[in-house]
Amino acid sequence: MPNSKTENLNIAAFDRMPSPDEITARLPLSDTAAKVVTEGRQTLQAILDHKDPRVFVVVGPCSIHDPVAGIDYARRLKKLADEVSDTLVLVMRVYFEKPRTSTGWKGYINDPYMDDSFRIDEGMEKARRFLLEVNEVGLPTGTEALDPIAPQYYGDLIAWTAIGARTSESQTHREMASGLSTPVGFKNGTDGSLDAAVNGILSASHPHSFLGINGQGQSSVIRTRGNAHGHVVLRGGGGRPNYDTVSVSLAEKALSKAKLPANIVIDCSHANSWKNPEYQPLVMRDVAHQIREGNRSIVGLMIESHIEAGNQSIPADLSQLRYGCSVTDACVDWSTTEEMIRNTRDILRDILPKRSAA
């Protein structure tokens, strides 16, 4: 029996969490979703291996809080994805976990009802249901891996994974990334430095052994093979953007020095847009022109986008929430999203065959 005099002194309760297998049994992977996930991963790997000249774009809300608005967004994005598929591969950004500097809403899994009830058991099941629906719409999904246990619950529904600026330096997240079934983008640090991202890619490319859980929820030693499709995500930091040609060139040199493939994704949001969504289209246009002018290392882009522009605070009366508007970082609206993606396609469409042949 645990020694109550010395153990768990700050623990209020242990609430049972359903195992990954239990939740997956309730919401099994459908054939349609499996096909979308598999083809999405294969396409992204081909882009990262420079076998597919297209550019992928991870686009969607800063975070998911309303699944109805989220599926509405997914259906719109699917139509746009089909329209631009000759040039761009669209991946829906589906973020359920939000890292916090101090306090704040931690996301749909942690607090799905946004009322501090913290029904993580229900949030996890709701998150898996949402991912199933998005994949069945026909869109591959991308998310940030924050909690190292969470991928066991829904990793089979993800095509692309980000390791955030606050966690790229974390050994736990590097170990987890080494075992993920998706390509993984490591963001540069919040201070703008590249070291954490480059070292994260190197670490995750090697096998690791670490503590985790298996499908039955049992503590296990997880032994990984290593992830061959790690890449850097430039998101700005330290008071300045880093999507410009000089910053991209410095990132290429850092990857070359580490003997890593020159694969770079540009996040049009966060510090690259000074956290002002109105600048995201300018960042995306600049990056598209870099590709047009001969850059071959930029393989992807990220956009924070929702149905309505801006963001909102979470009200005490949740019925007052504005439909399709972010409750975390501010986003561009749907019409701006369409314009950004169509303009990028127009800039790149005729040069991608040359990029492939180069």
Structure tokens at 36: 């979308």
pTM: 0.97
From 311, 248, 243, 231, select the one nearest 278 (Cα to Cα).
311
pLDDT of residue 292: 97
Residues in contact with 314: Cβ distance below 8 Å, sequence separation at least 6, in sequence order: 105, 114, 321, 327
pLDDT tens-digit map of 98-114: 776 556 899 999 999 99
Look over the chain and give the mean of its residue pLDDT values, rounded to a whole number.
96
Q: Which of 296, 241, 292 is nearest to 269 (CA)?
A: 241
The partner residues of 303 in beta bridges, in order of sequence, read 59
Q: What is the Cα–Cα distance from 211 to 220, expressed in whole angstroms?
A: 6
Q: Is the pLDDT of residue 33 over 80?
A: yes
Q: Is the pLDDT of residue 58 over 90?
A: yes
What are the pLDDT digits (tens) for 62-107? Answer: 999 999 999 999 999 999 999 999 999 999 999 998 776 556 899 9
Q: What domains lie within the chain, and their CATH numbers?
A: 20-357 (3.20.20.70)
Please check whether residue 23 is in contact with residue 128, taking contact to mean a CB–CB distance below 8 angstroms. yes
What pLDDT is recorded for position 2? 58
pLDDT of residue 356 exceeding 80: no
Residue 355's pLDDT is what?
A: 81
CA 197 to chain centre: 15
Band (186; pLDDT cuts 50, 70, 90): very high
> How many CB atoms lie under 10 A from the CB of residue 222?
17
The CA distances from residue 298 to 20, 216, 252, 262, 267, in Å, are 36, 40, 10, 8, 11
Q: Say yes or no to pLDDT of 358 above 90.
A: no
Q: Which pLDDT does position 354 carry in this prediction?
A: 81
The model's pLDDT over 106-139, given as tens digits with 9 standing for 90+, comes to 999 999 999 999 999 999 999 999 999 999 999 9
33 Rama class: left (phi>0) / alpha (psi -120 to 50) / beta: alpha
| Confidence at 352, pLDDT banded by 50, 70, 90 | confident
39/141 Cα distance (integer angstroms): 11
Nearest to 16 by CA among 128, 116, 122, 107: 122
* Residues in a beta bridge with 31: none
Band of pLDDT at residue 357, cut at 50, 70 and 90: low
Predicted confidence at residue 350, as pLDDT, reads 95
- Please give the average per-residue pLDDT across 241-250, as a whole number: 98
pLDDT of residue 103: 65
Per-residue pLDDT tens digits for 310-345: 999 999 999 999 999 999 999 999 999 999 999 999
Model pLDDT, residue 101: 57
Do 137 and 201 meet the contact criterion of CB atoms below 8 Å apart? Answer: no
Q: Could you give the CA distance from residue 186 to residue 193 in angstroms, rounded to a whole number?
A: 12
Q: Tell me how far apart the alpha carbons of residues 268 and 250 are, in angstroms, rounded to a whole number.
A: 18
Closest to 33 measured CA to CA, from 137, 183, 153, 182: 137
